[in-house]
Amino acid sequence: MNLIAVGVNHNTAPIELREKISLTDSMARSLLTELIDSKLASEALVLSTCNRTELYVVPAMPEVTANYLKDYLIAHKGVRKEVTRDHFFNYFACGAARHFYNVACAIDSLILGEVQIIGQVKTAYNRAVEMKTVGPILNKMCHTGFGLANRVRSKTKLTAGAVSVSYAAVELTQKIYSDVSTKNILLVGAGDTAKLAAKNLLDKRVRDFYITNRTYEKAELLAQELGTGKILPLEEMTERLHEFDIVVTAVGGNDHIIKKEHVAAAMQKRHRDPILILDLGLPRNVAPEVGQVNNVFLKDIDDLKMIIDSNLEKRRAEIPKVKHFIQKELIEYARWYFSLEVKPTIVDLQEKFFEIKALELARIKNKVSAEEYERMEQLSDRIIKKLLHFPITTLKQQTADTTDPVSFIRNIFDLKEQEEEFPGLTFPINLKEQNNN
C-alpha cells in the first residue's frame, strides 16, 4: 500500500514546537498545492489542530519518503533550527490508515474521546476535496474514518461523561437538579473558565442567568458574546445571594469572594432551601467553611477532578471495543486497496482467456454453421466467466503474498482439499542422497 503519514502531535513534541509547525488554513492550502503541482504526491491531506499537524500522502515518485516529507514540512514552515525529524511520527500503508482512524475516533486525542476532533478531520478533508488533492485512496480512508467515528459515538461510551472542569460542574448540577433550566443561576467571573461553564449551561437548555465580575465591562462583554445574561454589580452579590439556586465561581485572586457569613445569611432568607455552589477558582473563590452551612452543597476543583477521573477511567475501558471496530475496517480497507492493485492483472487474465477462446473458435468457424458457431461462442463465454469467477473474487480478497504456489492455485480455483494417498507416512530419508549411493 503506497501511503505515508508523518506529523507532530502531543505524543511526539511539546506545545512550543507544535505551535511552530502548525498550519493555518491558507498555509495548508499552499502546502497541498505545492505537493500536487510539483508532482511529489498524487494525493495529499493536511490535518492541523492545536495539538497536531499531520500530513497524509500518496507519493508520486520513489524519493518521496517519510523523511523527505518531514524535511519538506520543516522547510515549508522555516523552522529547521527548532524542529527536527525526531519530533515527528511516521506510519506507512495500513499503519497510516490505522493512525488516521485512531485520530478520527478520538483515541489518539490529548483528551480521550473529545468530540471536536471529528469536525476538524472533516474540515481537513473538505479542504482537500476543494483543492482536488484527494483521490480514491484518501477518499476511501476518510469516509471509512467518518463511519467509524459515528459508530464509536453510537455503539460505545467513549464520549460519555465530563472530562473538563467546566463541563463536570454542569454535569454535577444535573445530578442534583433534574431540570437545571428552571433554576436561578449566578455566574461569578467573566474569564475563559466562566465562559465555558456558561456555554455548557446553555447547552443544557438554560436560557438566562446572572453574571457578576470585578470588572463590570467584562461581564457585559461576556453577556454580549453569549447572547444572554443579566449583569449583577459585584457589590450587590452578597445581598442578593439568596435569590440563586446555583452559584458558579471562576475568578482570579487570592481572596475568598464568598464567605461563610454571606451564605449563612442567604440561607436564612431562603428558608433552608438548598443551594449548590461550584467553586472553579484556583486559588479557591469560596471559603471552605461555607460547606459547613446546612443545605449548602459546596464543590471545588478537587471534587470535580474526582468526577473527571472516574469518567476518564470509563472512557479508557471503551478503547478495546473501539480498536476492534478499527481493526475490522482496516482489514476491509486493505482488501479494497489490494483489489485496486490486482485490477490490471484481472483485466489481463480475462483478456487472455477470451483471446484463447477466439483463436480456438476461429479454427472451426468455417466447419460449422453460423447458428452452431454462435451457440459455441455463447457457451464458451459462459464457461470462461464461470472458470474465472472464483479466481477473480479470491484475488480481490487476497491481502498478503502467498508463498506456497500449490495452495494458492487450489485456493483461487476453489479446489477441494486432497486426501493423503498414504496418511501418516513420512519420508525421513533424503532420496537424492540415497540415489547417489
191 is in an annotated binding site: yes
22 is in an annotated binding site: no
- Annotated catalytic, 94? no
Given the DSSP bridges, would you call strands 246-249 and 275-279 parallel, antiparallel or unpaired? parallel
Closest of 235, 236, 228 to residue 209, by C-alpha: 228
Tell me the helix, strand and coil percentages in the chain, rounded to 5: 55, 10, 30
Distances (CA, A) of 357 to 131, 344, 374, 389, 413: 47, 20, 13, 17, 19
Encode 220-238 in three state secondary structure: HHHHHHHCCCEECCHHHHH
411 is in an annotated binding site: no
Question: E strand or H helix at 143, and its extent?
Answer: helix 136-155
Q: What is the DSSP-derived secondary structure letter of residue 315? A: H
228 is in an annotated binding site: no
Cα atoms in the 13 Å half-sphere on the side-chain side of 187: 33
393 is in an annotated binding site: no
287 is in an annotated binding site: no
115 is in an annotated binding site: yes
272 is in an annotated binding site: no
109 is in an annotated binding site: yes
Spatial contact of 107 and 317, defined as CB atoms under 8 Å apart: no
192 is in an annotated binding site: yes
402 is in an annotated binding site: no
145 Cβ contact partners less than 8 Å away, ≥ 6 residues apart: 100, 101, 103, 104, 105, 121
94 is in an annotated binding site: no
124 is in an annotated binding site: no
Residue type, 315: R
* Per annotation, catalytic residue among 50, 94, 105, 142: 50
Q: Give the three-class secondary structure for 213.
A: coil
Q: Angle, nearest 10°, between helix axes 301-316 and 165-176?
A: 100
52 is in an annotated binding site: yes
Distance CA 91, CA 99 (A): 8
Quick one: cell of 36? 500536487
418 is in an annotated binding site: no
Quick one: cell of 57? 500522502
- Binding site, annotated residues: 49-52, 109, 114-116, 120, 189-194
By annotation, the residues acting in catalysis are: 50
- Binding site, annotated residues for substrate: 49-52, 109, 114-116, 120
- Binding site, annotated residues for NADP(+): 189-194
